[in-house]
Structure 1
Amino acid sequence: MNSRFRDTSEQDRPLERPTRRRPLLLAGGAVAVGLLVLLGGGRLRQMLSADSAVSAARLSIATVDVAPLTRDVAGEGRVVAAQSPTLFAPGAGTVTLAVKAGDPVKRGQVLACVDSPELTNRLAQERSNVDALRADLARAEVEARQQTAALQSAYENARIDQQTAANDLARQTQAFEAGATARMQVERAQDALAKARLALDQARDLRGLKTDSLKLDVQAKQSALSRQQLLVTDLERQVAELQVRSPVDGQVGQLFIADRTNVARDARLLSVIDLSALEVQMQVAESFARELQPGMPGEINGNGQRWAGQVSSVSPEVVNGEVAARLRFAGAQPEQLRQNQRLSVRVLLDKRDKVLGVARGSFVDESGGSFAYVVRDGVAQKVPVKLGARSLERVEVISGLVAGDRVVISGAENFKGAERVLIAD
C-alpha cells in the first residue's frame, strides 16, 4: 500500500539566496543611458524628429560650389545642302527631260524643256497686236500732222484777213479825211476789221484746242502700244522659261516626273542639290530651342576631326516636341563630307566663369526647381530654392543654398515629400 503513493521529495527544490548583482546591472544600464543622452542628445533628437529614414546607398549627394557654367546643346546631325531648290513647270505642256538623277549640272544649264502650244500661240497673237497698234500710232501721228497743218493754214488766213481789213480801214480813213469818200465807207471798213479780228481769235483758239486733242490721241495710241509691248515682253519671258535651267552649280537630286509627261502649270519637275554649300541639321528639344539664335557658335565633330560651326537658321515649327536647327561651317567647308552623313553637333548657349551651382540631377525635374533636400548632421532637410540657368551637367542656384551645402541630387523620390529624413549609413 505504501509503495503505491509517492512522496513530495521530487517536487521540492531549494531556493537560491538573492544576490546584489542584479541591482548593479540595473544601475549600470541607467548610467549608460544617461551618458548616451548627455553625449548624443542632439543626434537622438534628430532621429526622433525625422519623419522617415532612407539608406545613403540609395541617394546621390553633391556639394554646392562656385565653378564655371557652360550651357550647351549636343546631339546628332546630318549633312544637308544649304541650297536645294525644287524646279517647277512654268506652264502647262509636255516636259522633255535633258538630265538624269545624279547628273552634275552647271548654273544656267538646261535641265528640261516644256512644250506649251497655248503659251506659244498666245505670244504670236500678242505680237500681231503690237504690229496693229504700231500702225494705229503711225496713222494717228500722220492725221495729227495733217490737221495741225490745216489749222495753221486757217490761222494764217485769218491773220491775213485781219491785216487786209486793217489796211482797208486806214485807206478809207485817209480818204474820208480828204473828203474823197463818205463816212459810211469808213464805218464799213471798221466792221470788217472787227470781224477779221474775231475770226483770227477763233482760229487761234481752235488751233490750240485741236492741237491738244491731237496730242492726247497720239499719247493714247502710244500708251496702248507700250502696254501691249510689255505684255509681249512678259510672254517672251514665260516662253524663255519653258527651258528650265539650273539655278546653281550642283547635282540633280530627284526627278518627280517621267520623261515626255504632260504636266500642269507649277507642277514639280526635279530638284537640284548645291554641294558647294553644305550645312548640318540637328533636332533640338523644344525647351532648348527657345534659346537658340542664329549666329551662336557651335562645334561639329566627325571623321576624327573637329570643325567650328555657327547656327545659320532655326525652324519656327515644332514637330514632335523638337525643332530643326542648321549649322554652317565657320571656316572652309570640308571636302570629304557627303549628303546625309551623320555628325556630332554641339551648340554653345552660354558660358560664365563663376556661378554658384550644383551638379544636375533628377531633383531639378522632380521638384520643378522649387525645393531641394540639404543634408546636415545625417538628416536631409527640405528647403525652398530658386534655380536659374541649367546645363547638361550643372544647374545655377539663385537662392536657398550656399556654397558648401550638401544636396541630394537624385533619389529624393524615396523621401515621398517628407520635411526631414534621416540618412542611414
Structure 2
Amino acid sequence: MAVAGVVAVVVLFVWGPGWIQPSVSRSRIRTARVDAGPVDAVIQASGTVLPEVEEVISSPVDARVVRIVQRAGAKLQPGQPLVELDARETALEVDRLEQNIALKANQQEKTRLELQRSLNDLDSQSRIKDLQLQVFRSQLARNQALAKEGLVSEEVLRQSELAEAQAVVELKKIQNERDNAQQVARATLDGLALEMRTIRKELDEARRQVDLAAPRASRAGVLTWSLTEEGASVRRGDVLARVADLSSFRGEATVSDVHAKRLTTGLPVDVKVGEETLDGTVTGILPTIRNGIITVQIALVEKSSPLLRSNLRVDAFIVTGRRPKALRIHRGPFADGEGPADVFVVNGSHAEKRRVVLGISGVEEFEVVSGLTAGEEVVISDMRDYLHLDTVRVR
C-alpha cells in the first residue's frame, strides 16, 4: 500500500500540471483569422427615415375648426382642402378695412373739391385785382403826364403811385395764397393716398387670410398628421396639418455627444435597412445638444428606394475614417476598441496570450496595428476570466 501511494504521488507530480491546466472547449469559443482588407472607422447611430419634403400647413388666423376635411393617411392632390376654419373675425376685419378705404376716398374727393373751390375763388380775386392794377397804372400814367404840365398836384400824383403799388402787393399776396393752397392740398392728398395704400395692403392680406380659411395642399402627397377635433380653437401660426411627399426620403440619426469632435458635414454614411445597405452623406448637424444627444441629418443617394418608409427605424454607421489596406480581425467582446489589448492566439491545442495594438473600429472589424500577422487565429470571445494566464488549453 505504501508503494502504491508513492507511485500515485509521483504520477500526480509528473502529469498533474497538464491535468489541472485551465482549458476551454473549442465549441464554447469563437475564433477568427487575421486577414488584410479595408477597415472603416464608424460611429454607430440610431436613425429614422423621414420624408425629404414635408409641408407644414399653419393657421393663417385666429379661428375655430369647423370641419376636418381630410384625415391622416389620406392621399392628396394639389389644391385639395384639408380643414375648414371659421374666419368670421377676419371677414369683419375685411368689412372694416373696406369702409376705411371708402372714407379715405371720400376725404380725397372732398379735399379735391375744396381745393378747386379755393383756387377758383383765388383766381377770381386775382383777375379782379389785376384789373384794378391796370386801372391804377392807367391813372398813374395820366397823372404823371398832367403833373409835368403842372395840372396835377404832387399829392394827387403820390396817391396814384401808392394805389398802384398797393395793388401790386395785393395781387402778389393772392398769387402766394393760391400757391400755398395748392401745396397744402397736395400734401393732404398725398397723405390720404399713403393711408389708402396702407389700408389696401391690410385689406389684401385680410382677404388672403379669408381665402386661406380653407387650407389646401400645395403639392401631391400624403397627409401625415392633421387636427382631429372639430370645434377646437386655433391661434394664428398653429400647425393644422403636415403633408409629405413620400416619393423621396432622407435620414435623421442621433448619436452621443462624446463623438461631437469627430462629426462634420460631408462624412459618408452606411444606412442599414434590414439586410440591405444604402449609401448616404451627412448634410447637417443640429447645433443644439439635448440630454447629451446630437442630431445628424443624412441625405440618401437612393432617396426613392422601395425599401424606405416614413418613420422607419434604421441603423446608421457614420464613417469617420478609412484604411483601404490594413490587417484586420473580426469584432467581438475580446476587445473594447482602439488601443492596446491582451488577446489569445490559437496555436494547436493551446491559446497563448499576446499583447496587441488595435486601431480604428469598423462595423465588423478592428484594425490590427501591431502584434498579429495575417492568417493567425484569434479567440474573439470574451476571455476576461483567463487574462491572468499566459496559456489556455483548447479542448
Q: Is the 8 A contact 2:50 2:311 kept in 1?
A: yes
Q: Give the CA deviation at 1:340.
A: 2.9
Q: Structure 1: any 5+ residue segments left out of the alignment? A: 1-54, 58-65, 416-420
Residue 128 of structure 1: aligned partner: 99
CA deviations 1:94-150 (Å, max 9, x no partner) are 421222222111233211110132222222122122212211111111111221232
The alignment status of 1:328 with 2:299, answered yes or no, reads yes
Tell me how large the CA RMSD over aligned residues is: 4.4
Provide the rounded CA distance (Å) in 2 between the counterparts of 1:287 and 1:84: 31
CA deviations 1:354-405 (Å, max 9, x no partner) are 8999999999979x96x8889xxx9999xxx9x99765655798xxx9999x
The alignment status of 1:265 with 2:256, answered yes or no, reads no
Q: Is the 8 A contact 1:373 1:412 kept in 2?
A: no
Q: 1:253 aligns with which of 207, 224, 227?
A: 224
Residue 198 of structure 2: aligned partner: 227
Counterpart residue identity of residue 198, structure 1 = V
Q: 1:109 to 1:422 in 2, by over 3 A?
A: closer
Residue 41 of structure 2: aligned partner: 71
Residue 83 of structure 1: aligned partner: 53
Counterpart residue identity of residue 52, structure 2 = A
Residue 115 of structure 2: aligned partner: 144
SS class of match (1:110): coil
Q: Give the CA deviation at 1:350.
A: 2.6
SS class of match (2:287): strand
Counterpart residue identity of residue 139, structure 1 = K
SS class of match (1:73): strand
TM-score (norm 2): 0.71
Q: Give the CA deviation at 1:343.
A: 4.0
Counterpart residue identity of residue 80, structure 1 = L
Q: Give the CA deviation at 1:191.
A: 1.0
CA deviations 1:270-327 (Å, max 9, x no partner) are 3322212312333323223443333332233436654332223333344554333232
Provide the rounded CA distance (Å) in 2 between the counterparts of 1:332 and 1:264: 35
Counterpart residue identity of residue 229, structure 1 = R
Provide the rounded CA distance (Å) in 2 between the counterparts of 1:364 and 1:182: 134
The alignment status of 1:105 with 2:97, answered yes or no, reads no
Q: 1:308 aligns with which of 262, 279, 292?
A: 279
Residue 63 of structure 1: aligned partner: none
Counterpart residue identity of residue 183, structure 2 = D
CA deviations 1:157-193 (Å, max 9, x no partner) are 3333333322321221112223433333221211111
Q: 2:89 aligns with which of 118, 126, 130?
A: 118
Q: Is the 8 A contact 1:291 1:349 kept in 2?
A: yes
Q: Give the CA deviation at 1:337.
A: 2.8
Q: 1:264 to 1:372 in 2, by over 3 A?
A: closer
Provide the rounded CA distance (Å) in 1 between the counterparts of 2:107 and 2:169: 37
Provide the rounded CA distance (Å) in 2 between the counterparts of 1:167 and 1:273: 92
Q: 1:250 to 1:156 in 2, by over 3 A?
A: same
Residue 14 of structure 2: aligned partner: none
Q: How does 1:288-367 map to 2 (within 5 A)?
A: 288-302=259-273, 305-319=276-290, 321-331=292-302, 333-351=304-322
Residue 51 of structure 1: aligned partner: none
Q: How many aligned positions are there?
A: 354
Q: Give the CA deviation at 1:244.
A: 1.1
Q: 1:109 to 1:379 in 2, by over 3 A?
A: closer
Q: Give the CA deviation at 1:221.
A: 2.0
Q: Structure 2: any 5+ residue segments left out of the alignment? A: 1-21, 25-35, 344-351, 374-379
Between the aligned residues of both structures, percent identity stands at 20
Residue 156 of structure 2: aligned partner: 185
Q: Give the CA deviation at 1:250.
A: 0.9
The alignment status of 1:280 with 2:254, answered yes or no, reads no
Q: Give the CA deviation at 1:251.
A: 1.0
SS class of match (1:333): coil
Provide the rounded CA distance (Å) in 2 between the counterparts of 1:112 and 1:270: 9
SS class of match (2:271): strand
Moved >4 Å (runs of 4+): 66-69, 303-306, 352-366, 371-374, 378-381, 387-397, 401-404, 409-415, 421-425
Counterpart residue identity of residue 338, structure 1 = R
Residue 208 of structure 2: aligned partner: 237
Provide the rounded CA distance (Å) in 1 between the counterparts of 2:211 and 2:87: 11
